[in-house]
Structure formats: structure tokens, C-alpha cells
Amino acid sequence: MSRMTLMVSGRLAGMLLLVLLWSSSGHCVALEEQTGTSSCCDAYFQGPAGTPGVPGIPGNPGVQGSIGVKGEPGFGLPGPKGETGDQGRQGDQGKPGEVGPPGKMGPAGRTGDKGEGQKGDQGEPGLEGPQGPPGERGQKGQPGEATLVTPTPPSVFAFSAYRTTGLTGSEGDVIIFDNIMTNVGDGYDSQSGVFTCSVPGVYSFTISVNNNANRAYVRLVKNVELIFSLYNSQTGAFHQSSNSAAVSLATGDRVWLQFGDDSNRGIYSNNNRYCYFTGFLIHAM
């Protein structure tokens, strides 16, 4: 063969060897990435160790760890005594305490000087003392002259009279209360139905009458002067009516009860004494 041919064949053989090496190297690298182990290439094609690379950039700080367990108390000697501090400010005044027990009585003081002053006013009379014993009987006096004694009129006048039967009448007819219950001083006349004043003063008069079918209408009269009237318009029922007045009377004044008009007026009574006429002296004048 010629020299040229040998050179070409040698170059071809070298190139083929390089291709095989490259293909085998790529296979080994892929296998290392999958399995994480060194391949056969290391045993057959490992070259000399390379120069160490440049150190990498420091990583970011890690996350803070959890707090550790509290340690055991330490042991040590007490420290030296510190210096005395400055005196603090005075505190606020406290509340008053409770009152203590009374102390012992002190010695009596000396007698004071006699004071000077004017005599006071005379005091009020004292209470009346007990009655003394009776004195001795005196001598009999001389006989006096005879005098006329005026009888004292009674100081009490009171009367109360009533009816036990009914009565009808015309205007001006006197209603006679013919039954006497009380007649102190004999001022009421049960025959005429009239009270006559013998002691001047203020008198109280009261009347009370019962009405059935005649509509009672009566008047209390002093001499010819009307004191008051009493009227009941109810018919067909028993109604009790009353009235009273205080009247000033002079000696000789007369008071009575009479019917008020001519309209068939009447009053009703029986043994239960539904109708009565009363008067008495309140104060003599």
C-alpha cells in the first residue's frame, strides 16, 4: 500500500475511535443521572482529578428553630451588700385612731373668787301650800234686815212630744203633738201644740214627720215669722222627713208647727211614733 493510503486509513480509524468514546461517554453520563451511581466509565475511562472549583455564594439564613427547654437553676454565691439608698419622702398622714379610754380625774382646782354682780329679779310665787287647820269659831252676828227674794227661774228647758195617729189639715192648722215624753220647765202645751218661752235665750227645735199618700208640707213658725218649711212630694210610699234650726227667743215668744197649704196635706203615724216635735234651751241670755 502506499503511504497516502495508510495515513487516510489511520485517520479514519482514529475518528471512529473518537465516535465510540463519545457515544460510550454519553451513555455513562445518562446512567449516572438516573441511578446516582458511578458507571463503568469510571473504571475504564476515569481521568486525573481536576482542580477544585471556586466556593459557591453563601445560602440564605435558615428558619429560626424552636425555643429550647428551660435550663436548671444555676448555683452561685450571694453578691456583695449594696450601698444604703437615699431616704424616701415622708408618707401621708394616717387616719385618726379610735378614742382612747378616759384618763383619771385630775386634782380639784382651787376655789374661785367670789363674783360681783347685781341682785336678780324676784322669782315667781311658789305653788300654793296645803290648807291650814280650821280656825276658832267666831261669835254670832247681829240679826239682819228682812228682804224680798226673787225666785230664780229654771236654767234648763227641754221638751219632746209625739203623735201616735195620722192627721190631715188645711193651711195654718196647728199640728198638735198630744203625747209628751219630756217637758222640763213646762214650756210645751200638749193641748195647743205651742211652746212658750219663759227664759230668753237660744233654743234648738227639731221636727220629724212621716208621709204616705198626702205629700206632707209643714212649717215651723215663731209668732207670725216662718222659721223653715219641710216638704215631701213622694206619694204612695212611706217617707220620713226632718229638719232643725237654732232660734233666738225672747220672753213670751211662741213656736209651733202648722200645715203649709190647702192641698189636702197630711202626716202619718202610729204606735211607732213616726212624728215628733222637740226643743231645748242651748244658752240663756
Output the pLDDT for position 46: 62
Output the pLDDT for position 189: 97
pLDDT averaged over every residue in the chain: 80
CA distances (Å), origin 18, targets 14, 44, 59: 6, 15, 41
Task: Say how far apart CA 184 and CA 146 lie, in whole Å.
Answer: 32
pLDDT for 78 beyond 90: no
Task: Say how far apart CA 265 and CA 284 lie, in whole Å.
Answer: 36
pLDDT for 4 beyond 70: no
- Average pLDDT (77-92) is 82
273 DSSP assignment: -
- Average pLDDT (235-254) is 91
Give residue for cell 227639731.
206
Output the pLDDT for position 188: 97
The band of 30, judged by pLDDT with boundaries at 50, 70 and 90, is very low
The residue that leads in pLDDT, 37 or 158, is 158
CA distances (Å), origin 268, targets 210, 272, 274: 5, 11, 7
184 phi and psi angles, rounded to 5 deg: -75, 125
Task: Say how far apart CA 190 and CA 269 lie, in whole Å.
Answer: 17
Task: Say how far apart CA 258 and CA 113 lie, in whole Å.
Answer: 92
What the block records as the C-alpha cell of 182 is 219630756
CA-based nearest residue to 201, from 280, 106, 109: 280
pLDDT for 242 beyond 70: yes
CATH architecture of the domain formed by 158-284: Sandwich (2.60)
Neighbours of 259 (CB within 10 A): 24
The residue that leads in pLDDT, 282 or 54, is 282
What the block records as the C-alpha cell of 225 is 215669722
CA-based nearest residue to 279, from 226, 211, 218, 208: 208
Burial class of residue 211, CB neighbours in 10 A (0-12, 13-18, 19+): buried
pLDDT for 44 beyond 60: no
Q: Convert the pLDDT of each residue in 136-172 to its tens digit.
A: 776 776 776 655 545 555 678 999 999 999 998 889 9
Output the pLDDT for position 86: 84
Task: Say how far apart CA 163 and CA 138 lie, in whole Å.
Answer: 61
Q: Convert the pLDDT of each residue in 221-230 to its tens digit.
A: 999 899 999 9
The band of 29, judged by pLDDT with boundaries at 50, 70 and 90, is very low
Task: Say how far apart CA 263 and CA 274 lie, in whole Å.
Answer: 22
What the block records as the C-alpha cell of 2 is 502506499
Task: Say how far apart CA 31 and CA 27 lie, in whole Å.
Answer: 6
The residue that leads in pLDDT, 11 or 66, is 66
Task: Say how far apart CA 102 and CA 139 lie, in whole Å.
Answer: 74
pLDDT for 210 beyond 60: yes
Phi-psi group of 273: left, alpha or beta (phi > 0 → left; psi -120 to 50 → alpha; rest → beta):
left
